[in-house]
Amino acid sequence: MASSDNERLRVLITNSSRKWISEAAHCFLLYENLEARGHHPILAVREGRELEGRARDAGMRVVPLHFRSQLAPVSDSKDILQLRRLIAEEGIDIVHCHRGKDHWIAALAMQRLRPRPPLIRTRHVVTPVAAHVFNRWLFERATSRLIAVSKAAQASLAARNPRWFQRALAGKTHLIYPGVDLEQFSPDRRSEALRRKMGLDEDDVLIGLIGRFQRIKGQYEFLRSAGIVARDYPRVWFLLAGRGTDEKRQRYRYMAESLGIESRLILLGEVDDIAPVIASLDLGVVASLGSEGSSRIVMEYMASARPIVATRVGGIPDLIEDGVTGRLVPPGDVAAMRDAICEMLNSPELRRRLGEAARSQAEARFRFDRWLNETEQVYREALNAAQA
């Protein structure tokens, strides 16, 4: 087992996500960056899901497991045994989990291992942790260190049992904001050719919401505010991009038609290289109604120097300073979103100032090297504590 700060670590990253969502991307980027630093990561994922395919295409070492969503004694037992063998045979130094299912599977798999590598859990969600006896064992005894991706995610650990948290978890919980690729997401990726291809003239303003086509992401609220804004701003266009079904895409079209903005709605669906689209916006919107333990799209907007109007949910207020790097509005408040968008439309100087401040904040807070330095420090602390 590695012990020196100069030794390269064998890190098992686990993620039981069914979908390609922010935390799946987080694990993918963690693998890439650990490997770039000379470490030896392995990725254990839910079999047959997109994270497995993307990781294999990138040449990563991938171990597919069942990771059934609910309690599944047969497949869970197989996962436990497979993970136990993997940890022992590969001489894993750190096990780093990212969801509840893989956290439990890893914790149970490691019980008979000697020596036992430290178990780290990154918490990406703001759903409170139930304070029953099983979770207390998992978080207090089985887990060496906890990482929260935002203050809201950190607070969720104590929401239902603050005394237990203060006694058992506070000392081993670390707040580490994720990183974003500041070269991929950059104002330099802005493309006038792309804007012309979308039908925009030089003086047109493009406002976009990028996110999964899912109710909680607030596309309907965005479209309703767009319908009001469009009445007074004839040179403003609106964009939706994200993964979703054809049925949802058609619903957005019907709604735009009912609001009279169908001719000014650009509906892209999922885009392989989203960075030029983001950089080609004049204003980025996040209309989420809840959740958002962190927000990768906010960090990508900021890295791209886009001014932002976003709802005040989850970890978003950790990322955006209201009036400095963007504007925050209550979730579901169409009028407040309209007013914030109009404020931006009325002042190109405000958009420029907020966008430049957002980029500066991204460079200071969301660099990959900062993210990796802080994560490696947690690994070293856990290893040192285990070997003490």
Per-residue pLDDT at 83 exceeds 70: yes
Structural domain boundaries, residue 227:
187-365
Same domain, 105 and 205: no
What is the pLDDT of the chain when averaged over all its residues? Answer: 95
Q: What is the CATH number of the domain that holds 293?
A: 3.40.50.2000
The model's confidence at residue 170, banded by pLDDT at 50, 70 and 90, is confident
CB 189 within 8 A of CB 271: no
Residue 143 lies in a domain: yes
Give the pLDDT confidence of 241-254 residue by residue, as tens digits: 999 999 999 999 99
Give the pLDDT confidence of 13-55 residue by residue, as tens digits: 999 999 999 999 999 999 999 999 999 999 999 999 999 999 9
Same domain, 372 and 360: no
Structure tokens at 300: 């990508």
Same domain, 160 and 195: no
Same domain, 96 and 215: no
Same domain, 216 and 124: no
Give the pLDDT mean for 219-240. 98
Residue 2 lies in a domain: no
Same domain, 144 and 232: no
In whole angstroms, what is the distance from residue 241 CA to residue 209 CA? 7
Residue 121 lies in a domain: yes
The total number of structural domains in the chain stands at 2
Q: Tell me how many degrees the CA angle 343-344-345 measures, rounded to the nearest 5.
A: 95
Give the pLDDT mean for 358-377. 98
Residue 249 lies in a domain: yes
Same domain, 138 and 223: no
- Burial of 19 per CB tally in 10 Å (0-12, 13-18, 19+): middle
pTM reported for the whole predicted model: 0.94
Residue 142 lies in a domain: yes
Same domain, 235 and 140: no
Same domain, 161 and 65: yes
Same domain, 251 and 292: yes
Give the pLDDT confidence of 327-364 residue by residue, as tens digits: 999 999 999 999 999 999 999 999 999 999 999 999 99
Same domain, 20 and 165: yes
Same domain, 358 and 210: yes
